[in-house]
Structure 1
Amino acid sequence: MSEEYDWLTLDEDEEILWDGKISQKSMIGTYVVGVPLILLLGLGLLIIVPSYLIVKHTDYVITSKGVYKKTGILSRSVTEIEYEKIQNTAFSAGPVARYFGYGDVDISTAGGSGVEMKLRAVEDPQGVQKRLSRLVKRAQGARGEEDTEGKADVLDEILVELRAIRESVEAREGDARGQTGGARQPDGRGDR
């Protein structure tokens, strides 16, 4: 792994499938507002510099097991969502973003309230969302097969237990019939 991802701790069998950053094109609006303010008031740097630092210090990584987002200029925050926890993915792009080819990818998790992670202003958001959706379905499909096998094993155990209970009940009924000496009816039931 390169030094660029020194913040990323992957499992041995985990590999990076996609990586991205906030698109530089998303800074166009910041420049449109900030540059004239630099010329007029000198305040434009207060708009441009923080935005640039956020773009520079935000990384997104999709691996074979989950999605990671790293943010932070002075400190560092890393968020990870495993595919098994992802409930929904979506992408969006406004008119300017669509024209320049970037947009947002939203990730929602089961039990979460709303969007848990947003990959903001990534290039080809639809492609990223489709790739992520396929990986989630594949991971959850594999988990679903394991769950089905586990459920089948539990059902088999329940069936064995029910048969044992049935045999025990039938044996007790036979003992009870033998003690009362009741004659068996043609339908197999004893006197009552």
Structure 2
Amino acid sequence: MSDADLDPADLEWLSLEDDEEIVWASGPDRRTLVPAFVVGIPLSIVLIGIVIIAGEYLRVTNTHYVVTTQALYKKTGVVSRDVKRIEHGKVQDISYSQSAVGNYFGYGTVEVSTAGGSGVELSFKSVPDPRAVQGRISDLVDRGGRGTSEEEPVDDVLAEILTELRAIREAVEESDVDATPDRTGDTRSSPDEPRSSR
């Protein structure tokens, strides 16, 4: 299932923020249904095969993965609905893996770990071209980590610190200029300060 295969009705579960846009949306590759058909067709004589095929088909077609400009989403469930969301700022690590069959057919799993989380928090299973998906998510996470509104206050604080340091430097330089020489030629800004030994 590629970006173009998704009908907007497939994403009716998704509620986006005002400035949030979809960058990539997909679901498990339909070729992952092949094992269910291989097992299910011979067993369809005793009706168990039909249940296996139908269950796997419903699972695959009701699983959606979405990457937006702000977060990652995974929606699963046939009768009930489970939606998981992870913001880009919480993403710590992104990796992908492919089995021998997945490598041959060009699909694999993208796994996302978060800061402070225990292990993999979100996985996009059986997605087409997992390396490209991992790269796209990495780019968004990296871009979100630089130049965001969260970092603007840090720049303001650094500017304030620089201004204060300049003021301190000017004050120190002025105190050196204001220091008066005594009879021995030593300069002291206060009579309480000890004379430097030569």
Band the TM-score falls in, shorter-chain normalisation: 0.7 to 0.9
Name whichever structure is richer in helix by fraction: 1
- 2:187 is matched with 188
More off after superposition, 140-149 vs 103-112: 140-149
Letter in structure 1 aligned against 2:187: G
Letter in structure 1 aligned against 2:78: I
Letter in structure 1 aligned against 2:16: L
Percent of pairs identical after alignment?
39
- 1:52 is matched with 57
Distance in 2 separating the partners of 1:63 and 1:135 = 9
Aligned length: 182
Q: Tell me, which stretches of 5 or more residues in structure 1 are unaligned?
A: 175-182
Pick aligned residue for 2:43 from 37, 48, 52: 37
Letter in structure 2 aligned against 1:129: Q
Residues 97-145 of structure 1, C-alpha deviations (whole Å, 9 max, x = no match): 1111111011111111111100010111111111111111111122385
Residues 13-72 of structure 1, C-alpha deviations (whole Å, 9 max, x = no match): 211111101111111122222222223x43223432222211111111111111111111
Q: How large is the Cα RMSD of the aligned pairs?
A: 3.2
Pick aligned residue for 2:140 from 135, 142, 147: 135
Q: Tell me, which stretches of 5 or more residues in structure 2 are unaligned?
A: 1-6
Q: Give the TM-score normalised by structure 1.
A: 0.79
Distance in 1 separating the partners of 2:112 and 2:147 = 20
Distance in 1 separating the partners of 2:184 and 2:9 = 85
Distance in 1 separating the partners of 2:186 and 2:55 = 88
- 1:61 is matched with 66
Displacement after TM superposition at 1:162 (Å): 6.0
- 1:87 is matched with 92
- 2:165 is matched with 159
- 1:117 is matched with 122
Distance in 1 separating the partners of 2:156 and 2:114 = 24
CA 188–103 in structure 1, closer or farther in 2 if over 3 Å, else same: same
Distance in 2 separating the partners of 1:4 and 1:113 = 31
Distance in 2 separating the partners of 1:104 and 1:94 = 9
Q: Give the TM-score normalised by structure 2.
A: 0.76
Residues 142-174 of structure 1, C-alpha deviations (whole Å, 9 max, x = no match): 2385365144145247637967998xxx8xxx9
Distance in 2 separating the partners of 1:119 and 1:185 = 80
CA 93–54 in structure 1, closer or farther in 2 if over 3 Å, else same: same
The alignment partner of 1:52 has SS state of helix
- 2:3 is matched with none
Distance in 2 separating the partners of 1:7 and 1:185 = 86
